[in-house]
Amino acid sequence: MGTEIERKFVMKNLGEVLRIPAVPVRQGYLARNFDEEVRIRRMGDEYTLTTKKGTGLRRAEFETPISAAQFDALWPATEGSRIAKSRRQVKLPEDRIAYVDVFEEHLEGLTTVEVEFDETSTALAFVPPDWFGPEVTEDRRYSNKMLSSEGKPE
């Protein structure tokens, strides 16, 4: 079983981040409930099927590569629960990467930044840079599965 430990923030100003090349991301949810989700994702030329269990900072995550044909076959089942965004990677100190997602379509105007960690204690000790906005790690409204069908939080 894989574990995802991640903190998430809402960005208000992208500034220089927009100069970094972006990768298009399309993802849709096949199943989602309070603490579980199954999604498919196309990021650039890579396709994955992912199952996540749990909410907030630490969750179980299982990711499997799939083919473009499998993605295309499953995509219609995600109607009404999709996300389109572009992703940029920003290098941070201590060899960390910030994943900046600029949302499109029904989520246009929303930008988030996520940082992944190997341990919960490291995640909790992380001091975000000034250019990060408010933290939303524990705010379910900002989870991608909720954004996909509920839209931007007010």
Q: Which residues are catalytic?
A: 29
Length of the chain: 154
Residue 27's Cβ-count burial label (10 Å; 0-12, 13-18, 19+) is buried
